[in-house]
Structure 1
Amino acid sequence: MSSIEIRHIVFDIGRVLIHYDPHIPFTRLIPDDAERNWFFANVCTHDWNLEQDRGRDWAEAEALLIAEHPDRIDEIRAFRKYWHEMVSHAYVESVAIMEALIAEGRDVTMLTNFAPDTFKEARKLFPFLDMPRGVTVSGEIGLIKPDLAIYEKHTKDFDLSPAHTLFIDDSGPNVVGARAAGWHAVQFTDPEKLKSDLAAHGILL
């Protein structure tokens, strides 16, 4: 068990508290597996979507791709149109852990790579996202994980002590980024491991 007292717990959202999978609507829109995989590798790529998380407007993002792939207009626009299907459900056990931490009176905030407009939708779909003390949304500030600056901004905005902060994220690079900011950080894989990681930092549920 760590001898460091954890005073602040920071949750990522996607694939930690809520499921995210862009393939969900596209299995219907592009049924062929090979074609769909090609589409995500070459058209609506991870890097393209990440720029919306950095704050790029969807209309601009779509226009860029349509100029390059004019034969794919409907599929390109479908990415935003059917985004709500991509966040198909909450991870109930993870949410229960977060709720238990809040109920204990622990300081819980969230730090997420998210486009501003889709995050507003997510809050309506998943009301528990309003339970923590607050959230830093990448697209609202023009910074994304794992950039050091976003951790530093979250630290300042929420008056965190980095040495007493524990971050939970599914992404290895984002965990490394948090540690570079002086935080403790664990990589989320499943709720049971999260409970174990919390216990290792002196937080028993």
Structure 2
Amino acid sequence: MADKVVVFDFGGVLIDWNPDYLYRQLITDDTERRRFLTEVCSLDWITQQDGGQPIAKGTAELVARFPEHESLIRAFYERWHEMIRGVLEEGVALVDKLEAAGVPLFGLTNWSDETFPWAWERFSVLRRFRDVVVSGRVKLAKPDPAIYAEMYSRIQQQVPGVAPQDIVFIDDNVKNTRAASALGWHGVHHTSAGATEVQLRELGLAFA
């Protein structure tokens, strides 16, 4: 197979991000906490901020819909950094191996432009990619095909002649990997670094 380019998602692959880390402190009942994070501060709502909506606007709109949960809603971004426990070392080790083998590496992340700089300064692994597409900066979010087109355009600038089938995309959200696969990329649903490494080798990537 042709030489491959590998594109990494960040949260859940390289960065240990989980809203439960904060909300276990705020909502002790497991069922109620899951309901809140599913129905109030939902993934769809988070994606709006990741796609470029100002945090203040998104927060105000959600508070208007659920005024009884105002303090819990405001905590989401006011205490956002408490949802991050650091890097996922096995994911970083995979970056190490691919980088040592000379594989071109890129980043494609759904992340608010208002919160991303905090992580960028603290986690050096995020600065090891040839280019990074941050959804909040380009006002697009996965799984919208347009954000993959933006990533592909940037990859082509760095790796001339690269074809969609030469791109491997690693993400812990299966909707995002399916969207990449629909465009001709190789979507790898990340469940563990070990399982992802196996899939990369099956795709013909050679690394120590």
After superposition, the CA RMSD in angstroms is 1.4
Aligned to 1:39: 36
The 5-angstrom pairing of residues 105-184 of structure 1 reads: 105-159=102-156, 160-184=162-186
- Could you report, residue by residue, the CA deviation over 1:82-128 in whole angstroms, capped at 9, with x for unpaired residues? 11111212110111111221122221001111111221111122111
Of 190, 195, 199 in structure 2, the residue corresponding to residue 188 of structure 1 is 190
One-letter code of the match for 1:158? I
SS in 2 for 1:88: strand
> Do the aligned residues in 2 keep the contact of 1:6 with 1:201 (CA within 8 Å)?
no
One-letter code of the match for 1:184? H
> Do the aligned residues in 2 keep the contact of 1:6 with 1:166 (CA within 8 Å)?
no
Alignment of 1:91 onto 2:93? no
CA distance in 1, matches of 2:31, 2:171: 30
Range with greater deviation from structure 2 (67-76 or 142-151): 67-76
CA distance in 2, matches of 1:7, 1:43: 40
Range with greater deviation from structure 2 (194-203 or 30-39): 30-39
Q: Count residues in correspondence.
A: 202
Aligned to 2:159: none
Alignment of 1:20 onto 2:22? no
**Structure 2 unaligned regions, length at least 5:** 157-161
CA distance in 1, matches of 2:186, 2:146: 16
Tell me by how many angstroms 1:33 deviates. Answer: 2.4
> Do the aligned residues in 2 keep the contact of 1:17 with 1:91 (CA within 8 Å)?
yes
Tell me by how many angstroms 1:198 deviates. Answer: 1.3
Tell me by how many angstroms 1:182 deviates. Answer: 1.6
One-letter code of the match for 2:9? D
SS in 2 for 1:144: coil
Tell me by how many angstroms 1:10 deviates. Answer: 0.5
TM-score, normalized by length of structure 1? 0.92
CA distance in 1, matches of 2:30, 2:189: 29
Aligned to 2:204: 202
Alignment of 1:76 onto 2:73? yes
**Structure 1 unaligned regions, length at least 5:** none
